[in-house]
């Protein structure tokens, strides 16, 4: 899902930064400096060819190397180092790309106020995450975990389980990940209410998209509550005791957004007190999840290590997506997946 945004043409930015005299020169002659904040394994960037000099850095050397860079590729999207290392005016990358859908780690005032364009990996994770969520819904409805537990004990114990068709889901987050989740659940016969920042009607897939203000009416109706929202001040901590109290005792909660969407103590309590039937968390306020976390042993809670979007080849897809955007940038064309810094995500149009 490509999102085009008319921004200051990249070539202008590039040439301004590297060599103002090349404004009308041949881009092939210009060598852009692409700095990669490394994570294992490194991205395959051969396709950059002579167009760029690729520099690598770890978190420690980031502050030192950042002023040299035209482009910063945040390959280690789990890092908070960019905020610390962000240089003063004059020595900044003109374009920051993060290999993640969430951009919350990059929404610090100095970057927001700068002219640097911020792009993200919107699109790469939509289908994998939607499959992951659909799988969780079905696994919870059919009690696969119960079957595995019983199998470990060599016990044959027939149970009745839930039909998913005709059940209701609330998906919070109307970006491409939330939409894809909603579409896949809908294809399974689930009635989906999609919730976004603003209410809108006439959505081609969902008809009405609800505003978050409608959640008190929607949550009590849902068997499945899915968080796929961007992390913004408005969504931070939105799944708290109050939200869980609105859910049905049969409801299951799934978070593939960000750990900070959830008050973790509150979800533990809701599960312990059987106020909801189950939950699955793929993201956590602190990752990796600490050994001491109460979450590990909370009843009817499935923990997975931030992997819902990471299907085989995902890193190649992320690198290809950056390279596609680099092609545009280098050619002076508008970038896609440009984050609206005020909103904190890539808007739909």
Q: Which of 144, 236, 248, 324 binds a second copy (CB under 8 A)?
A: 144
Instruction: Rank residues 19 and 286 by Cβ distance to a second copy and give the closer one.
Output: 286
Bridge partners (DSSP) listed for residue 338: 119
- Binding residues with a second copy: total (CB under 8 A): 49
Q: Is 42 in the site for a second copy (CB under 8 A)?
A: no
Q: Say how far apart CA 95 and CA 69 lie, in whole Å.
A: 9
Instruction: Assess whether 275 carries a catalytic annotation.
Output: no
Instruction: Assess whether 53 carries a catalytic annotation.
Output: no
Q: At its nearest, how many Å lie between a second copy and the CB of residue 149?
A: 9
Q: At its nearest, how many Å lie between a second copy and the CB of residue 135?
A: 3
258, 261, 315, 328: the active-site residue: 258
Instruction: Rank residues 12 and 286 by Cβ distance to a second copy and give the closer one.
Output: 286
Pairing verdict, β 168-172 and 207-211: unpaired
**Of residues 74, 84, 88, 72, the one with CA closest to residue 108:** 84
Residues 6+ apart with CB under 8 A from 202: none
Stretch that binds a second copy, among 187-195, 214-222, 237-245, 270-278 (CB under 8 A): 187-195
Instruction: Assess whether 306 carries a catalytic annotation.
Output: yes
Q: At its nearest, how many Å lie between a second copy and the CB of residue 343?
A: 29
**Of residues 239, 298, 237, 300, the one with CA closest to residue 269:** 298
Q: Is 131 in the site for a second copy (CB under 8 A)?
A: yes
Q: Say how far apart CA 343 and CA 77 lie, in whole Å.
A: 20
Three-class DSSP category at 74: strand
Instruction: Rank residues 26 and 312 by Cβ distance to a second copy and give the closer one.
Output: 312
Helix (H) / strand (E) element for 308: namely: none
Residues 6+ apart with CB under 8 A from 141: 161, 162, 163, 164, 167
Q: Is 314 in the site for a second copy (CB under 8 A)?
A: yes
**Of residues 27, 58, 109, 95, the one with CA closest to residue 332:** 27
User: DSSP state, 223?
Assistant: S
Q: Is 306 in the site for a second copy (CB under 8 A)?
A: yes
Near a second copy in 243-302, by CB under 8 A? 287-289, 291, 296, 302
Output the furthest CA–CA distance in the chain (Å, rounded): 77
Catalytic residues: 258, 287, 306
Query: Using CB under 8 A as the criterion, which residues of the chain lie in contact with a second copy when the complex forms?
Result: 127-128, 131-132, 134-136, 138-139, 141-142, 144-145, 147-148, 150-151, 154, 156-165, 184, 187-189, 287-289, 291, 296, 302-308, 310-314
């Amino acid at each position: 899902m490509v999102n085009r945004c008319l921004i200051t043409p990249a070539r202008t930015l590039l040439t301004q930064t590297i060599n103002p005299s090349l404004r009308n020169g041949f881009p092939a002659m210009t060598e852009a400096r692409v700095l990669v904040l490394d994570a294992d394994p490194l991205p395959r960037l051969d396709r950059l060819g002579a167009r760029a000099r690729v520099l690598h850095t770890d978190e420690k050397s980031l502050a030192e190397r950042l002023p040299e860079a035209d482009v910063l590729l945040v390959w280690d999207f789990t890092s908070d180092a960019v905020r610390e290392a962000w240089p003063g005016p004059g020595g900044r990358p003109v374009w920051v790309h993060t290999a993640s859908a969430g951009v919350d780690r990059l929404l610090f005032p100095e970057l927001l106020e700068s002219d640097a364009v911020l792009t993200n990996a919107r699109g790469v994770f939509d289908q994998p995450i939607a499959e992951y969520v659909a799988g969780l819904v079905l696994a919870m409805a059919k009690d696969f975990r119960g079957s595995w537990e019983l199998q470990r004990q060599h016990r044959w114990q027939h149970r009745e389980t839930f039909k998913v068709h005709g059940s209701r889901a609330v998906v919070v987050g109307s970006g491409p990940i939330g939409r894809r989740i909603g579409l896949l659940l809908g294809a399974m016969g689930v009635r989906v209410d999609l919730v976004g920042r603003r209410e809108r009607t006439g959505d081609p897939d969902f008809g009405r998209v609800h505003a978050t203000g409608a959640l008190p009416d929607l949550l009590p109706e849902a068997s499945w509550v899915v968080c796929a929202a961007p992390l913004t001040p408005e969504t931070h901590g939105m799944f708290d005791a109050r939200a869980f109290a609105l859910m049905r005792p049969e409801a299951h909660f799934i978070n593939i957004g960000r750990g900070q969407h959830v008050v973790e103590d509150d979800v533990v309590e809701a599960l312990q007190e059987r106020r909801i039937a189950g939950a699955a968390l793929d993201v956590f306020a602190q990752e990796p999840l600490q050994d001491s976390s109460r979450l590990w042993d909370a009843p009817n809670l499935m923990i997975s290590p931030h992997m819902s979007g990471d299907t085989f080849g995902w890193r190649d897809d992320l690198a290809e997506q950056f390279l596609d955007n680099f092609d545009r940038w280098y050619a002076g064309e508008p970038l896609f997946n440009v984050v609206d810094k005020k909103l904190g995500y890539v808007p739909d149009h």
